[in-house]
Amino acid sequence: MKTSLFRSLSRVITLALPVAVAAVATACGGGQPAATDSAAAPAASASSPLQINGAGATFPNPIYSKWFDEYHKQNPSVAINYQSIGSGGGIRQVSNETVFFGATDGPMTDEQLKAAPGPILHFPTVLGADVPVFNLPGVADLKFTGATLADIFLGKIKKWNDPAIAKVNAGVTLPNTDITVVHRSDGSGTTYIWADFLAKQSPEWKEKVGVSTAVNWPAGVGGKGNEGVAGLVSQTPGAIGYVELIYALQNKLSFGSVQNANGEFVKASTESVTAAAAAAAAQMPADFRVSITNAAGAGAYPVSSFTWLLLYENPKDKAQSKAMVDFMKWALTDGQQYASQLGYAPLPADVIKQELTALEKVRTS
């Protein structure tokens, strides 16, 4: 009887086991074959759009937000999410493949490109400018030379009525107020642009501080993101910092004119940034990694820069790759109309032509 009972139980267990395994597999998502690549994923639709994640620079965040929103309205099957965490974070995350694309205001170094798991391509999206913002009650406008800005951020010029500032601001009553330097606390392409310009103006800056998305600041207090710097400057009488032009305009911060390579004091604007890009467009390198700070040319604003979107040449997810290439084609053409509305300069036509050709390198199948 014991033998008969054991055989009966064995048959029940044998029959029940596949059912139990199937139930567990279904509960764990194993009821369908695991997707090994993007081709196995279900097609995106308006009700369930393809989600693409990116992260990086705060500098272009206003126009990226506008672009992603407008593109989604026209293409409901694609939703692009962007985290404005700074250029350093964007480079790290795209290099670690935790996001599909990155964004930076300072091009990746050769070392960073070599350390990435695959070739990463740079695509300029728009042009922008860093501006020196200040909070000096009773003073609405100031002029700065590059050398003076370098000495301020080196901590060498400590008072607003310093002779170096007064010399180029005749007729302006400058108070004997302490200068509070405000800089970025996070890795930032905005910092890269600022440091790149100062390094071209001051041998001491180049030697002691250098050019990077994150530097060892000789003086000042840090704020996170353009938003953080703008906030600290607006709350601190006597403060000076640097932010992207749009943040100065949005926060109604006073910002100064900066002397360019021609000796002119130029205020940042769409026109003056475009003038800075004109010379670079004719000498654009194949990988688009170029600096246009302190550009020659009449009316050129000297603290101007391209900002770049970073894409893998051969990404794992080909569905997302195709969607991003299609988006980039839109951004480089129809999307450029939004640039001037938000304080950016649109790309020169010659650069757009080169980029549309370079996009063909990105694998989409």
Q: What is the pLDDT of residue 35?
A: 32
- DSSP structure string for 198-234: HHHH-HHHHHHT-SSSS---SS-EEESHHHHHHHHHH
The band of 321, judged by pLDDT with boundaries at 50, 70 and 90, is very high
Domain ranges of the chain: 51-128+303-361, 129-282
For the stretch 53-72, pLDDT in tens is 999 998 899 899 999 999 99
Give residues with Cβ within 8 angstroms of 244, minimum separation 6: 58, 59, 128, 129, 130, 131, 190, 226, 343
- For residue range 154-185, what is the model confidence (pLDDT) as tens digits? 999 999 999 999 999 999 999 999 999 999 99
Tens digits of per-residue pLDDT, 39-53? 333 355 556 899 999
Question: How confident is the model at residue 44, as a pLDDT?
Answer: 58
Query: Mean pLDDT over residues 85-111, rounded?
Result: 94
Which CATH superfamily, name and number, covers 51-128+303-361? Periplasmic binding protein-like II (3.40.190.10)
| Rounded Cα–Cα distance for residues 248 and 258 (Å) | 15
**Rounded Cα distance, 317 and 39, in Å:** 8
Assigned token pair, 67: 């672009």
The arrangement of secondary structure in 129-282, i.e. its CATH architecture, is 3-Layer(aba) Sandwich (3.40)
% of the chain residues with pLDDT over 70: 87
Q: Do domains 51-128+303-361 and 129-282 have the same CATH topology?
A: yes
